[in-house]
Chains A and B, each alone.
Chain A
């Protein structure tokens, strides 16, 4: 069974940094691209960032470019999102999602349950 478990969320002040993690199991992690998608409270989905199977191709939404860094460790079956210079508008539930292919972006076939990031002073 495919499982994606996010962690690392919490309450953080504007301007600070936070690192999210996503632990994957139930599939061969290195065979798939991975993504982060966020959802602000009561709002819709926003794609944040994606990374291909060997970290060769990385992409970001304009809203986070230059502030967020996506990475992965295939030996640990883990995906990460290092968020810097956090803003109030970054407050959201952050989902980890699996791409259907190694090279992405394609559709997202499995999602975690999300980790909540609240940016507030």
Chain B
């Protein structure tokens, strides 16, 4: 099983700042099959990024993803107030596993 480790667990930033989240895999993720989801309180997760760097339909371009192999990152270029929620990475290259999540909080 591929274990995904997200860091940091919590990231404290201010609106307008840039956020960079990390997702490290215990072994190489096949074909960069890595996705990122956003989850707001009381809601189901929403797909943001797939294939490590492709934005899903309707996702603003302030959200981006990069990386390959075992190291992936997710960036929000300019934080909006509604971005301060939880983000999960998900690998689907070998079965399917999620990271433990990173919470973005307002500083």
Contact = CB atoms under 8 A, between A and B. Distances in A.
Interface residues of A, number: 21
Contact of A59 (B39, B50, B88, B96): B96
- Majority secondary structure, B binding face: loop
Interface stretch (A9-17, A69-77, A84-92, A99-107): A99-107
A108 B48 CA distance: 10
Query: Interface range on chain B: under 10, 10 to 19, 20 to 34, or 35 or more?
Result: 20 to 34
Nearest to B48: A107
B98 A107 contact: no
B33 interface: yes
Interface of A: 35, 37, 44-47, 50, 59, 62, 95, 100, 104-109, 111-114
Interface of B: 1, 33, 35, 37, 39, 43-47, 50-51, 56, 88, 90, 92, 95-101
Q: Which 8 A-B pairs have the closest CB atoms?
A: A111-B44, A107-B35, A107-B50, A47-B96, A45-B98, A44-B101, A105-B92, A105-B96
